[in-house]
Amino acid sequence: MNRTVPAVRLRVPTDEDAVAWHRVFDDPDVMEFQGGSPAELSVYEELTARQRRHDAERGFCLWSMVDDADRVIGFTGAQPWPHAWGPRGEIEIGWRLGRAHWGRGYVTAAARQTLERLRAAGVPVVVAMVDADNARSIAVTERLGMRLTEVFTTPTSRRRGNCYRLEL
C-alpha cells in the first residue's frame, strides 16, 4: 500500500515540553498500558530532564515529536532500559502519541527516523517492551520488522510484557 508519510520532526525535549507531554498524555486511552491513569506533571518534568541527560551523554533519547504546525504530539526515541527487571543493559525504543493523532502513521515515521539515528550513533541492537495486549504498539514493532524474542512478567502488575528486538 502506498500511503503518505506524515511530516514529523524529532527534537530533544525542552523544559516546557514536560507541560506539553502532560497535557497530550492526559487521556485514559493513552495511559491504558502505562498504569491506566494520567501521570502527574512532576513525572514528565523528571522524564524530560532525564532525556536531556541521555542526549548529552549518548546522542539519543526519547525525543518530542513535533508536527508540521509545530505542535508537540507525543514522544518517540530510545533510552537505556530503565528498570531492574526485563531487558537490562539494552537500548529500548519507545513511543507515546496523543489520542487525536493515532491512525496516521506518525509513530512509524518517527520510529524509522529513530532507527536511523541509532545506527548513526553505533547502537547495534534495539529492543521494545510492549504489553502483550497492546495491539497498536505491537503493530508498530511489526511495521519496523522487529521480532519477538523474550517474554517477561512485570513485577508489580504481573502483566505479560513482550520483548521485541531488531539488529541495526
Which residues form the interface with ligand COA (CB under 6 A)? 3-5, 30, 33, 95-97, 102-108, 130, 134, 136-137, 139-140
Q: By beta-carbon distance, which residue lies closest to ligand COA?
A: 105
Closest contact distance (angstroms) between CB of 93 and ligand COA is: 9
- Measured CA to CA, the distance from residue 159 to residue 65 in angstroms comes to 28
- Measured CA to CA, the distance from residue 15 to residue 101 in angstroms comes to 23
Which of residues 3 and 158 has its CB atom nearest to ligand COA in the complex? 3
Closest contact distance (angstroms) between CB of 95 and ligand COA is: 4
Which of residues 7 and 49 has its CB atom nearest to ligand COA in the complex? 7
Per the rule left: phi > 0, alpha: psi between -120 and 50, beta: everything else, 35 is left
Give the angle 37-38-39 at the CA atoms, nearest 5°: 115
Closest contact distance (angstroms) between CB of 65 and ligand COA is: 10
What number of other Cβ atoms are within 10 A of residue 123's Cβ? Answer: 18
Closest contact distance (angstroms) between CB of 124 and ligand COA is: 21
